[in-house]
Structure 1
Amino acid sequence: MTLKKIDPFFQEMLEKLGNKASEKSRKFRVIISFDDAKSRDNFILKNENLETLYKLNLISSISLKLNKQQIFEYEKEDLIKAIEEDQQLFLSILEINEILDLNRSKNSQISHTGKNVTIGIVDDGVNSNFLSIPNTIRRINNSNYVKKSQGSQITHGTVMASIISNQFTDNYYTALGVAPKAEILDLDISNSQEEYYFSDILSVFDTIAKEGIKMDILLISLTTKCPSNGKDILSCACEMLVDKGIIVVCPAGNLGPNSTTIGSPAAAEKVISFGSVTKKLTIAQYSGRGPTTDKRMKPDFCLPGSKILIPLSNELRVNVTGSSVSAAIGAGLIALIKEYKPQLSPHEIFELLKKSSRDLELDQYSQGNGMPNVSAIFEEFNLIHERIIPYNYLIKKSIKISIGFSVILIVLFYMFNFFRV
C-alpha cells in the first residue's frame, strides 16, 4: 500500500526490514516537513519527548531519529506534510586549460579571471594553509560548526577550491585556476564522524538565508548513493536557491557506468550537473548516468574529471579523479561568464552553456548536452582579443637574457686576457 506522506523509496526500504527485535528498534535519520513554521513548532510542542537534530527554516522541517514503528505512526499525523529519509551524501591544472580551450580566453587582452564573482563551496572545509588557495577566502560557519586545526590536511574542499582559484602560475605568469580571482566562500559541513546528511546542507542554506549571504554560484560537491527523481527535500531547497538567482552546480556522482545513477541534489531540474570525461574525451567509467528516476535527462553537461594534476604547494601536487572535479571546473567556467555578464539568470547561463557545447556523439544520458566551450561564448560577446605579451614577463625575460649575455662577455674577457698573457 502506497502511503501519502512517506516517500515511496523510503517506504519500500522500511517494508523490506524483517521483524527481528534489532530491526524493530533500529533508528533512521528522518526529515519531517510541514506546510509552515507554525505547524512545525506545534508538532515539536506536541512531541516534547523527541530529540530534534536540526530545526530547519528554508523549508519548514525537522531532522530527527525514529524507528520504523514511529515513522508509520507519524504518517497519520495531520500536522505533517511529508516524511523522508535524511539521506547520507558522499564526496564524490595544467592539463585542464588545453582540453577546454581555456588558453585562448586566458591569453586574451581582456582578462577572464572570475573577478567580482562569489562561489560558495559546500564541502568538508577548505584548508587555506596551502599556497594554491587565495588569501581572500571567507569561511562561513553554520550553527553546528566545530573549529579544528587544519595543519597540512588535504580536504576534498581544498581540492575543489584549488581547481577553481589556484594561485600558481604558468610561464606567462597566468594563474592556473579556472577562475583565479573569484571569491571563495568556505561553507564547511565537516564533523568528527566524516558523515554528511541532507540536514547538514539544509542547515547551511538556513545560515545563508538568515545572514543574507550573497553569492553567484553554489558548488555542492556531494551526492547520494540512491538515485533521485529531483523531488526530495534537498533538491527542492536547491531549486529555491536557484529561484533566488543563485546558480547551483553539482557532480553527477561516481556510481557509473550503470544507468539511473544520478543522486540528489544533481537530479534537481534547475541544478546544473556535470558528468566526467577522460582526456580522450570518452565518458569516464565512474561517471553517474541518467536518466533520473522520473526519466529526465541528466547530467546536463560533461567536463574533464580524470587524473587532473593540481599543485597545492611548491612541493606538493595531487592527481585527482571524480565527477566533483568536473563540477568544480564547471563552477569556475560559469564564474568566467558571470564576470562580464553578471545580470544573466541561472536559466540564461544554462542556455549559453548548452548552445556552446560540443557534441561528443556519446549517449545523451552520459554526456548530457555535451562539453561546454567557454571560448565560443566569449567570442559571441566579442570578449576575446589577442593579448600582448605581459610587461612583467618581458622584463623578467630581458633580465635573464642580459645576465646571460653579461656572463658570456665576462668569460670572453678572461679568456682573452689569459691567452694574451
Structure 2
Amino acid sequence: MYTVFSSDYKNKSEGDSPWELSWLDYEELHKLSTGHSQTIAIIDTGINSIYSGNLKFEKSLVDKTIEDTDGHGTMMYSIIKGINANIEGISPNVQIMVIKVMNDDNSVAPTTIKNAIELAIQKDASIINLSIASHFEDTDITEKIKSAVNKGITVVASSGDYSNTELIYPAILDEVVSVGAIDASVNVLDLTSGSKATTINAPGHEISTINLNETLIKTSGTSQATALISGYIALLKDYAFLKNKKLSNDIIISLLESINSQELTYLQALEKIDSLYLIKST
C-alpha cells in the first residue's frame, strides 16, 4: 500500500513572514513567470470543495467526491496555487487538476495510483505531484511514470518522511524529480529519507499552508517541499514556453541539481533558460 506523508503541524502567528518566499525570491520569480501555461496534477487526498471552482479538472478514484477529509491535498494546493490574500503560491497562475486517491486511512492501492497517473496523462498535465510513497516498487506504476516522462510530463515525488538513508519509491526512480526537505538554515530535516540522493532538498520546514478550517498554519515535511518544487518547475516550463523553447526533463533535473549544490539560486536557474540552446516548441 501507498501512504500519504503526515505533516508536522505547528501553529504560528499569521504575522510571521513565510521564509520560503524570500528563500526562493517569489517576487523576482513572478516577474518572469507565474506558471500560466502549465498544469499540475495533484494526486493526493482531494481538496476542500471551497476551492474546487478554481480547478481545471477534478476526479475522485476512491469515492463520489473530491472533498478532502484529511487536509493534506488542500495544503499542497495552497502551497502551489496560493489562497487569496492568505498565502502567496509559488505558481499562482498555474492550472490545477486534483485527482483524489486516498482512502480514509490515508492508504491507497497501487492500481489506483497507476490509474491516477494515466488520467493525468490523458488530461494533459505537464507536471504530476506525488507526495505519496511506498517501501515497495510496483511495475505498473513505474511503466506509467516512464510513459508520462516520455510524453514530456515532469513527475515530482517526495523522498520520504522515514528518516532513513534511502529514497522511497517512486522518488527512487531515475526519471522522477525526488525532493527532500530543509529548514531556513539549510539543514536537512531529520525526517527526510535519502537526502544525499535527492534531486533537490527544498524548503519544507514550517511552510505556510491552509488547513480544512481555512486557518493559516505552518507545517513541515517532504510533502511541502515537493509541492513547492512542483510549482517551481511550472515556472521553469512556463518561462521556456514564453521563450518558445522546449525544456526537457533532463535539463530541469540538471537545473534543480545546480540549485541543490548552491551553484545557482532559484532565480538564476530560471534566468539561465535564456542562455540555453533548446529546441523550439512546435
- Give the TM-score taking structure 1 as reference length: 0.56
CA–CA distance in structure 2, aligned partners of residues 149 and 105 of structure 1: 31
CA–CA distance in structure 1, aligned partners of residues 66 and 92 of structure 2: 26
CA–CA distance in structure 1, aligned partners of residues 27 and 118 of structure 2: 39
CA contact (8 A) 1:122 1:218 kept: yes
Find 2:4's aligned residue among 77, 87, 90: 90
Q: CA, structure 1 residues 192+340, in 2 after alignment: closer, same or farther (shift >3 Å)?
A: same
Find 2:102's aligned residue among 168, 190, 194: 190
Find 2:230's aligned residue among 331, 355, 378: 331
Q: What residue number does 2:269 align with?
A: 377
What secondary structure does 1:354 align onto? Answer: helix
- 1:16-415 equivalences under 5 Å are 87-92=1-6, 94-106=18-30, 108=31, 110=32, 112-129=33-50, 133=51, 135-141=53-59, 144-148=61-65, 150=67, 153=69, 155-169=71-85, 176-208=88-120, 212-224=122-134, 226=135, 232-256=139-163, 258-260=164-166, 262-289=167-194, 298-311=197-210, 316-342=215-241, 343-355=246-258, 357-359=259-261, 373-381=265-273
- Structure 1: give runs of 5+ residues left out of the alignment: 1-86, 291-296, 361-369, 384-421
Q: Which of structures 1 and 2 has the bigger CA Rg?
A: 1
CA contact (8 A) 2:5 2:131 kept: yes
Alignment deviations for residues 74-117 of structure 1 (CA, whole Å, 9 cap, x no partner) = xxxxxxxxxxxxx33333583211122333223x3x4x211121
CA–CA distance in structure 2, aligned partners of residues 150 and 301 of structure 1: 31
What secondary structure does 1:89 align onto? Answer: strand
- Structure 2: give runs of 5+ residues left out of the alignment: 7-16, 276-282
CA contact (8 A) 1:253 1:288 kept: yes
1:198 deviates by 1.4
What secondary structure does 1:219 align onto? Answer: strand
Q: How many aligned residue pairs are there? A: 261
Alignment deviations for residues 338-371 of structure 1 (CA, whole Å, 9 cap, x no partner) = 112132121222122233x1526xxxxxxxxx8x
Identity of aligned residues (%): 23
The structure showing larger relative contact order (alpha-carbon pairs under 8 Å, at least 6 residues apart) is 2
CA–CA distance in structure 2, aligned partners of residues 191 and 148 of structure 1: 12
Q: CA, structure 1 residues 185+145, in 2 after alignment: closer, same or farther (shift >3 Å)?
A: same
Q: What residue number does 1:75 align with?
A: none
CA–CA distance in structure 2, aligned partners of residues 305 and 314 of structure 1: 22
1:124 deviates by 0.8
What secondary structure does 1:309 align onto? Answer: strand
CA–CA distance in structure 2, aligned partners of residues 327 and 286 of structure 1: 14
What secondary structure does 1:141 align onto? Answer: strand
CA–CA distance in structure 2, aligned partners of residues 263 and 381 of structure 1: 30
CA–CA distance in structure 2, aligned partners of residues 140 and 147 of structure 1: 11
CA–CA distance in structure 2, aligned partners of residues 314 and 373 of structure 1: 35
Amino acid at match of 1:327: T
CA–CA distance in structure 2, aligned partners of residues 217 and 189 of structure 1: 17
Q: CA, structure 1 residues 149+266, in 2 after alignment: closer, same or farther (shift >3 Å)?
A: closer
1:308 deviates by 1.2
CA–CA distance in structure 1, aligned partners of residues 112 and 66 of structure 2: 21
CA–CA distance in structure 1, aligned partners of residues 172 and 273 of structure 2: 31
1:199 deviates by 1.5
- Aligned-residue Cα RMSD (Å) equals 2.8
CA contact (8 A) 1:94 1:310 kept: no
